[in-house]
C-alpha cells in the first residue's frame, strides 16, 4: 500500500476453487449470501473503502460496465464500510447497478477470500469472477492497493461465461 508491504490474511483463492459461502450485509442491513446468486455469473470487487479515490473510481467504473451486462451477471462491491455509509455513497454517486455489501460484522468474507489487510482491518483490492455454479474462474489481486484493477481482463472473463 503506497509502496509499503502489508500483510494479507486468509486463504488465497485460485481459479478452479469452489468459492466459499459468505454472508454479507446490504445497505438496508439485510443478509446477502452467496447462494442468493446461484445460476448467475458473479463479479466480486473487493475494495478498502468507497470513501477513497481509487475505490470510488473502481466502483463507478464497474457500475457503468454492469449496466451493459445481461441480467444473469451480478457485480458486488464488498468493503468494510458500514452499510449506512455505503448507501449514502451510492446515492451521492448515482451507483445503482453494482450491489454494495459490507463485511463489517466479523471479517468472515475477508478471511475466507484471502483479502483481509490484517493490520488495517480493511480489504485489499481484488476481483473474483465466479461462474454460475459458484466456481472461481478468475482472480485478480491488485499488487498495489492504490491502483485500479485490470477491468479489461475481468470483463473478458465475464464474457467467456455469458
Known catalytic residues? 55
Q: What cell was used for 6? A: 502489508
| Helix (H) / strand (E) containing 46 | strand 41-46
Q: Residue for cell digits 442491513?
A: 29
Is the separation of the CB atoms in 53 and 142 below 8 Å? no
Is the separation of the CB atoms in 113 and 34 below 8 Å? no
CA dist 12 → 9, 19, 56, 100 (Å): 9, 11, 25, 22
Amino acid at each position: 500500500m503506497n509502496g509499503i508491504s502489508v500483510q494479507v490474511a486468509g486463504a488465497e483463492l485460485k481459479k478452479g476453487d469452489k468459492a466459499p459461502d459468505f454472508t454479507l450485509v446490504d445497505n438496508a442491513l439485510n443478509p446477502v449470501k452467496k447462494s442468493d446468486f446461484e445460476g448467475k455469473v458473479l463479479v466480486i470487487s473487493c475494495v478498502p473503502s468507497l470513501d477513497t479515490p481509487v475505490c470510488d473510481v473502481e466502483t463507478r467504473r464497474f457500475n457503468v460496465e454492469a449496466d451493459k451486462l445481461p441480467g444473469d451477471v451480478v457485480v458486488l462491491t464488498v468493503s468494510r464500510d458500514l452499510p449506512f455509509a455505503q448507501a449514502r455513497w451510492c446515492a451521492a454517486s448515482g451507483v445503482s447497478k453494482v450491489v454494495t455489501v459490507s463485511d463489517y460484522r466479523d471479517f468472515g468474507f475477508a478471511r475466507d477470500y484471502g483479502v483481509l489487510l490484517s493490520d488495517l482491518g480493511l480489504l485489499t483490492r481484488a476481483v473474483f469472477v465466479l461462474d454460475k455454479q459458484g466456481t472461481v474462474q478468475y482472480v485478480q489481486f491488485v499488487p498495489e492497493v492504490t491502483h485500479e484493477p485490470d477491468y479489461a481482463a475481468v470483463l473478458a472473463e465475464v464474457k467467456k461465461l455469458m
